[in-house]
Structure 1
């Protein structure tokens, strides 16, 4: 009986132990706060970007920096032997020819070791001495020593950075025994890109790129990214179209899956800084979804900035809101274990958001962004001229909810209405727009601060803009634009705006606020002062915007002021037009066109019909319709032949009719001079009406003939044959 009881107790104890083990297995493990942070650091961390990898990876330049003293010691020790190395190698070669009849039987001449040659090459690379680097390779080759691949690559890097295509191709032909590696092919293409001017299409680089494809050794993805970036940097419609064609061609021929830098470049291209095409937010979001969702690539800060910019520049409320949503996602979703965002806000991000805010007239968001930039401590870059340009444009596009003309005045009221600075044309009080004359910094403290709500009237808009502009002038060392004699050394840098430079586009944006919200008299006086006192020369856009403001003047006294203002601006414009240069660039054709159209409209509105007709005749004589009929020569890049020859890709994303013509001369259409036509009809001026109708039809017909000729035109025969020396690679066959 006792044995049975003992056995039963053992079984019960075993069951209890099993239950304890199972219960302990079900209990969750306990971790400290430090353990959790250490565990989630790696889980929440984003993959390293190429820039971060470059910082971690040891580059050849860093290796040379670390071993520079050792290399100098090695070369100094071999200096005596190196001085006689060249003569000795020459004598050995002569002896080989006498003995063997040729140089095929190579016996190594070990005057210097390979390590000493490597030290010499590293010093030559550090000093950017291409001649010494190639001399080192030449001595190694004639000595019969095997040349390491990294030494050839280092020499090619020197030639690529200098844009010396001939020297790099000579290294490929003289020292490479196998086909160039991927990085060496990239250096070959890079040398062509560096040797090409910024505004010129990189046709030679495209030829080399396609030549490697025809040899079944396509260049790496970074080469395509560099060529595409070079095409976009030309800022031409042809370069833009070729860049998109190359992107689709690369995915069909060489690399089906782009990397994050290439996706970023294409998404940024959807923002379209060119005036010939609008932004393409749908295409940008498609590429973004393909990169982040379909291919599960981790986006970088640059990729976020690109897609935000593409959505913001669309100018539609839906996509602008999408840009702000992406910015919130960028800062909120990518957080580490400590709750800190992986992406710090940058000036590029804020500028992209300001692009959207100004296009929809959302001044509240623009003021909030500016406040965030001033208060942000993690941002290395401060407020600059581009930021303030966007802010001023936001004020210009803003529509105040309060209008003085909508307010009814009570009969018999003794209260005098406050004069507003809106576009009603009523002159305002002089003290409402003049900046403070005191050089004391405390003058800003006595002025009203920014309220939490946006300005409610045009006067408040102008007042806030004056505060911002005077703060800029104060922080860069000027008291105000009304006191140009102020010694800049007497005022220290006071705040966040000291990095803002006074440029023409900044002053144009500042004036645009007055064009929209101030009276024309006030704007006229400001225009006369601001450029001269800020020591900035106006550009063609400055004159065009001033003329367009005058051409939209209201009836009555404002048109009298507009005519006086416009005639003064027109005299300045004519001096600029005579030179034909706007700084280092040629005057834009569309700028010329807009200036004439605005002045013709102004003269028509002010009943100067005869002068308007004379100006139209002068325009037609200077820019005749016959110039419009002749299209520019068609580049071989737009050939319709689908063959992998020269620079022509197999796959295209843009057809011939989708590439805008960037070289159309200035012209005038009927809609541009419709007001002049109405004035001529009212006067029954049949001769002038006939001339206006003729010249408008002539420009319209010339434009149609130009389009037809461009579609029928064949590419340039010389370029189409692909006879460029760059197309004939001197590299060894695989």
Structure 2
């Protein structure tokens, strides 16, 4: 309606000019007539002249009135700000608003449907239990029927198990009719003429919906059984509902039993989805879902590909397995799906693959090029509207790269996320979430941009609203503070106290030269820095020295302890962060304390870091992890000359004694200890011993490591699973598309090893001492590890996969090629 009104063309303005021109012509004609017949007009009577003047004035007035009417009609319409907002509000409306209304209406419809179903079941219960009072109690039901703890009653049962009571009674009555039919020994041709239905189709549907809402798979499957025995047609959505309930519980046998008993045709798309989902749920976490992949390829071989959200679920499960093999298989399945099933992925699948580019399992920290390619394909080529999750994924992929160029791209995408999707009132479609802020903090800490990290933390604290707020940002948690502490640790302050020269170190000529400026300039600078280091408050300028960095981190940690109730502030009158209880959701975890310690390792003295290491974990009852020991040993392994190396040796031996307890246990948090963590700890200890002059102990440590983790253990690679087969064709002569070859898949199970670069400093010390025998052993051990590692790689490339598993239910596709 508004568009039609705005599209009405205004009247042409040329008619107004025509009236004005006509008026001028009349006046000119009268004046010319008067000049030409001046003599004759003089002799005419005054009455004739008066009539002509009146007629002229009448015509002129008529022209002016017509012109005013036309001018008013030709003026363009004017609108107020409110009217313009009303016109464009629908055009620029955000897509989230109507979705919320639909969700609310669907909830209301579901609530009304549940009430109707309960009323139908209650009516069926009254009818069944009032029709026959003789021997119809649920306790007399046949074997296999549902049990019920309710007794027979003619009153309405409103308990949540009323559907089980009705099903038990119906099962009992149908069993009696079937027993009577068997006693009569009727021929099969006469059996359909005797109906045994005790419930109508509508009542069965209500029972099915109630069972599905209650996640009662046993009752839902019995409903199908009673319908089949009652010669009623089983609808597709009913079998799909039963399979859905079984898939929630990971009951693969239940899903396949429904397919075998109650499906006469091939499973529908949603039924295939729940079949595969049951296998996914039944697979233990962090394990590759091989059985789900088998079923998925089996449906492909029957020309019945699963829907796209099924592929998304399988790919997500592969990426969640936390193994390089699962990640490689996820990328292979993504390319395979686009070739054999769905060439155009949807936004959720694009989001999952873009987030996979930022996986920490990558050989590199991230793959921003691949992520940006997928982002461009989704938003530009396919013209799909990105979601908030898609923006968070691409921001994280760019931020984790550690490259300044891609980190800046991550911040540009975050700005685009907030500015490119606004409604007529200027409200953004996407509000920054905690995941968005964490992704940006990932980039800031990797490039050492503390200014941005502080700004992000301030933005999160400022945007935290009450629980009644419509778009409240999640509170700051321990992940956010971990990233913030890492940003402080990677930050390089511009001021170094060693670069400031004291007045005593200046030459004598410099002291007397320009006594009005130079003699006072250096002490003033040093004094200002000293005073600035002691300033106990946050400023807009990032810390200019390591002392200021330590102070800010300590203030933040004290506020965390205060807001969580672990420890009050030392000086409650001085509040560096005026907002109260903004860190109440921060939990003290091992990774948070490790990041807190990393700031002291980078900017503080070794003595301060050692004291904090001894205190903070025991005081707050937080257990140390392998990363705690490794970071402490690596800090000791880079100690400076002099007194710090003496402290480092003492501290390193203390940490090493605690590490050995963990290494002997071989597990951390219920998981096997990583081989990379083990070798990092040993390498740091060998370096520490070599730096402090204990070369003999360092060589003995290397011998003990080689004896405990011999190089020969590396030779045999892990067996390749069947899903990494080297076959290059699928069933039906269809080629398989892969994105990762066998050489590109990292090996997650390589035992601990030591290379020459790891012990190079020990080699230099041995060369300086002229220890030829120990140098020869060091070279032998390093070459042995290197040779066996090369042999392991070659064996892995040539290794054939395990035997192919067979599937009795239906033929399936062969495993993908490598």
Deviation at 1:644, TM superposition (A): 2.9
- How has the CA–CA distance of structure 1 residues 84 and 511 changed in structure 2, closer, same or farther, with 3 Å as cutoff? closer
- For residues 318-344 of structure 1, the C-alpha deviation after alignment (integer angstroms, 9 at most, x for no partner) is 000000011111111211111111111
**Which residues of structure 2 form unaligned runs of 5+?**
1-28, 30-54, 132-165, 466-470, 506-518, 572-578, 813-818
Deviation at 1:84, TM superposition (A): 4.8
Question: Any conservation in 2 of the 1:78–1:116 contact (CA below 8 Å)?
Answer: no
Deviation at 1:121, TM superposition (A): 2.0
- How has the CA–CA distance of structure 1 residues 84 and 519 changed in structure 2, closer, same or farther, with 3 Å as cutoff? closer
2:564 pairs, out of 471, 476, 500, with: 476
Question: Any conservation in 2 of the 1:64–1:126 contact (CA below 8 Å)?
Answer: no
* Paired positions, count: 687
Question: Any conservation in 1 of the 2:324–2:748 contact (CA below 8 Å)?
Answer: yes
- How has the CA–CA distance of structure 1 residues 51 and 508 changed in structure 2, closer, same or farther, with 3 Å as cutoff? farther
1:379 pairs, out of 446, 464, 472, with: 472
* Secondary structure of the structure 1 residue equivalent to 2:503: coil
1:58 counterpart residue number = 106
In 1: Cα distance, 2:308 partner to 2:375 partner: 18
Question: Any conservation in 2 of the 1:71–1:122 contact (CA below 8 Å)?
Answer: no
Question: Any conservation in 2 of the 1:246–1:649 contact (CA below 8 Å)?
Answer: no
1:257 and 2:350 are equivalent in the alignment: no
In 2: Cα distance, 1:220 partner to 1:132 partner: 28
1:35 pairs, out of 75, 83, 92, with: 83
- For residues 28-51 of structure 1, the C-alpha deviation after alignment (integer angstroms, 9 at most, x for no partner) is 443343333333233223445998
1:687 pairs, out of 756, 773, 798, with: 773
In 1: Cα distance, 2:645 partner to 2:424 partner: 64
1:439 counterpart residue number = none
In 2: Cα distance, 1:23 partner to 1:705 partner: 93
- How has the CA–CA distance of structure 1 residues 410 and 279 changed in structure 2, closer, same or farther, with 3 Å as cutoff? same
Moved more, 155-164 or 44-53: 44-53
1:335 and 2:416 are equivalent in the alignment: no
1:570 counterpart residue number = 656
* Secondary structure of the structure 2 residue equivalent to 1:401: coil
2:199 counterpart residue number = 112
Question: What do you get for the CA RMSD once the two structures are aligned?
Answer: 3.3
1:201 counterpart residue number = 288
Deviation at 1:101, TM superposition (A): 3.8
- For residues 604-626 of structure 1, the C-alpha deviation after alignment (integer angstroms, 9 at most, x for no partner) is 00011111111111111111111
In 1: Cα distance, 2:456 partner to 2:365 partner: 25
1:395 and 2:395 are equivalent in the alignment: no
2:806 counterpart residue number = 723
1:455 pairs, out of 543, 551, 557, with: 543
Deviation at 1:71, TM superposition (A): 4.3
2:647 counterpart residue number = 561
1:405 pairs, out of 498, 501, 509, with: 498
Larger Rg: 2
4+ runs of 1 displaced by more than 6 Å? 12-23, 412-420, 480-483
Deviation at 1:64, TM superposition (A): 5.3
1:305 and 2:392 are equivalent in the alignment: yes
Deviation at 1:130, TM superposition (A): 1.4
Question: Any conservation in 1 of the 2:502–2:523 contact (CA below 8 Å)?
Answer: no
Moved more, 77-86 or 55-64: 55-64
Deviation at 1:149, TM superposition (A): 2.2
Moved more, 605-614 or 14-23: 14-23
Question: Any conservation in 2 of the 1:44–1:337 contact (CA below 8 Å)?
Answer: yes
1:517 counterpart residue number = 603
1:552 counterpart residue number = 638
- For residues 250-272 of structure 1, the C-alpha deviation after alignment (integer angstroms, 9 at most, x for no partner) is 11111111111111111111112
In 2: Cα distance, 1:53 partner to 1:698 partner: 68
2:697 counterpart residue number = 611
In 2: Cα distance, 1:218 partner to 1:509 partner: 47
State how 1:472-551 maps to structure 2 within 5 Å.
472-479=560-567, 494-551=580-637
1:173 and 2:260 are equivalent in the alignment: yes
In 2: Cα distance, 1:104 partner to 1:600 partner: 86
In 2: Cα distance, 1:184 partner to 1:58 partner: 23
In 2: Cα distance, 1:99 partner to 1:604 partner: 95
In 1: Cα distance, 2:338 partner to 2:494 partner: 52
**Which residues of structure 1 form unaligned runs of 5+?**
423-427, 434-446, 484-492, 730-734
1:85 and 2:189 are equivalent in the alignment: no
In 1: Cα distance, 2:122 partner to 2:564 partner: 51
* Secondary structure of the structure 1 residue equivalent to 2:245: helix
Moved more, 213-222 or 312-321: 213-222
Question: Any conservation in 1 of the 2:630–2:681 contact (CA below 8 Å)?
Answer: yes
In 2: Cα distance, 1:62 partner to 1:541 partner: 51
2:797 pairs, out of 693, 711, 714, with: 711
Question: Any conservation in 2 of the 1:96–1:102 contact (CA below 8 Å)?
Answer: no
Deviation at 1:379, TM superposition (A): 2.9
- How has the CA–CA distance of structure 1 residues 24 and 180 changed in structure 2, closer, same or farther, with 3 Å as cutoff? farther
Question: Any conservation in 1 of the 2:562–2:569 contact (CA below 8 Å)?
Answer: no
TM-score after normalising by structure 2: 0.78
- How has the CA–CA distance of structure 1 residues 399 and 711 changed in structure 2, closer, same or farther, with 3 Å as cutoff? same
Question: Any conservation in 2 of the 1:547–1:595 contact (CA below 8 Å)?
Answer: yes
Deviation at 1:301, TM superposition (A): 0.5
- How has the CA–CA distance of structure 1 residues 327 and 180 changed in structure 2, closer, same or farther, with 3 Å as cutoff? same
TM-score after normalising by structure 1: 0.87
- How has the CA–CA distance of structure 1 residues 116 and 674 changed in structure 2, closer, same or farther, with 3 Å as cutoff? same
2:216 pairs, out of 115, 118, 129, with: 129
The structure showing larger relative contact order (alpha-carbon pairs under 8 Å, at least 6 residues apart) is 1
